Amino acid sequence: MADSAPALAPAHPTSRAVYVVLDDFGALGRAYREMDETEADLAHVVRHMVRGEFNRPVQVVAFNADEGWCRDASTEIAEAVAKVADEQHRSLSRTTREFVEHHLAGSTRREIHS
């Protein structure tokens, strides 16, 4: 009997980076958030972060199964979220702002909208 759980990587190789978000649910623990494979890219993750659609994002991992690499993309995402929020004059949720500030700590980034 085949396992019916959905794959984390796209079923059809596209040679693109896939981004997954580790989200903190407090007493319930942490989990990598499920996403439709068409939304597991940089632009969609940034858009979801700016909209505050994660509970308490902790880390973002990027990987490309075709090319055989995986890396922590948290700083890259934090920079992109800060840039989009600034360009769109959007306020970030408290938890998204904390994610951005944590991952940009020590950088010369401008202040994040609250």
Q: What is the pTM for the complete model shown?
A: 0.79
pLDDT band at 114 (very low <50, low <70, confident <90, very high): very low
Does residue 112 fall inside a structural domain?
Answer: no
Q: How many domains in the chain?
A: 1
Q: What is the pLDDT of residues 77-107, one digit of tens each?
A: 999 999 999 999 999 999 999 999 999 986 6
pLDDT band at 58 (very low <50, low <70, confident <90, very high): very high
Does residue 87 fall inside a structural domain?
Answer: yes
- Evaluate if residue 112 carries a pLDDT over 70: no
Dihedral Cα 37, 41, 47, 53, nearest 10 deg: 50
Distance CA 21, CA 96 (A): 12
Query: Cβ of 27: how many Cβ atoms within 10 Å?
Result: 4
Does residue 8 fall inside a structural domain?
Answer: no
Dihedral Cα 30, 33, 34, 37, nearest 10 deg: -140
Residue 87 structural domain = 18-103
Does residue 99 fall inside a structural domain?
Answer: yes
Residues in the chain: 114
Does residue 108 fall inside a structural domain?
Answer: no
